[in-house]
Every structure is written in C-alpha cells, then in structure tokens.
Amino acid sequence: MLVSDPIVLPRSVLSQPVSGAEHPQIVPVMLQVIRESLKVQGVPDQAMQIILGSWRQSTSKQYHCYIARWVKFCSSRSRNHLQTDVGLVLEFLTELFYKYNLKYSALNTARSALSSFLVLRWGSHSRNTPPYQ
C-alpha cells in the first residue's frame, strides 16, 4: 500500500468544482491530506496543530476539488499522492488544462493547492534513486 491510511473521498467531491457549503465533509478531507503530509515530513505535533489551525474554510473550498482530483489521479496510476516527482505534477496540470479546459488562473490555484502539502522530487531519476511510488 502506498500510504498507511488511505483517504476515501465521496464521489461528489471528485466531480466538477462546487461550493464547499454543499459538501461539509470537504474540510475534514482537506485537513486529513494536510495532516498526513505533515506527518510524513516529520513535523512535530504542536507545529502541526498550528499549521492545521491556520487553514481557512475559504482556502479549503478553493483547493478541495484539485486535491481530490490529485488523489484520484495518483491512485489511478498507483502513485503516492504525498511524495512524487515534478513530471507527474506536470502531467496532472496538463490533464487539467486539456481534459477540463481549465484556464491559467485555475491551473495556478491547482498548483498552489498541491504545493500546500506535496513533497516533490526534482531532477531525473538514476538507477539508485527510483521515483516515489
């Protein structure tokens, strides 16, 4: 398994962007992804609480569809949604651009959402450093 506790997202969260008011489970799902990422990065519990407390509901509403799509995108490719390489992120953003016809401002929001929790690996992979799974 790629992560210790898989995140199960409601189908409605994976659909086109909608208002957070229609999905009260969005904030807990968002915080679960952020919490999981911070834990993987070794952030101390007290610092984690400060970071999680700083997330505004409006930010969660804006980011939720992109993070949900990212988790689904990675799952469909059997890739870790918390640690990956830049190439996979670019593939995801390219898919958003072409498949969902997103404009640059929406792509920037998606990129910002991913950067809030994602650990990226830069550069090419050598034989001794396999890509994150």
Mean pLDDT of all residues in 31-60: 81
Of 98, 32, 111, the C-alpha closest to 70 is 111
Q: How far apart are CA 99 and CA 20, in angstroms?
A: 23
φ and ψ at residue 90, rounded to 5 degrees: -65, -40
**Residue 23, φ and ψ in degrees, nearest 5:** -135, 80
Lowest mean pLDDT segment, chosen from 22-36, 59-73, 88-102 = 22-36
Q: Is the pLDDT of residue 24 over 60?
A: no
Cβ(16)–Cβ(68) under 8 Å? no
pLDDT tier at 64, thresholds 50, 70, 90: confident
Query: What element of type H or E holds 119?
Result: strand 119-121
Entry pTM = 0.63
Mean pLDDT value of segment 59-68: 85
Q: Residue range 25-36: average pLDDT?
A: 68
Radius of gyration of the chain (CA): 15
Q: Does residue 55 carry a pLDDT above 80?
A: no
For the stretch 11-20, pLDDT in tens is 444 444 433 4
Residue 28 pLDDT class (50, 70, 90 cuts):
low
| Residue that the structure tokens 């799902």 belong to | 29
For 113, counting Cβ atoms within 10 Å of its Cβ (0-12 exposed, 13-18 middle, 19+ buried), the class is buried
Question: What local confidence, expressed as pLDDT, does residue 122 receive?
Answer: 59
Mean pLDDT of the chain: 75
pLDDT above 90 coverage of the chain, percent: 29
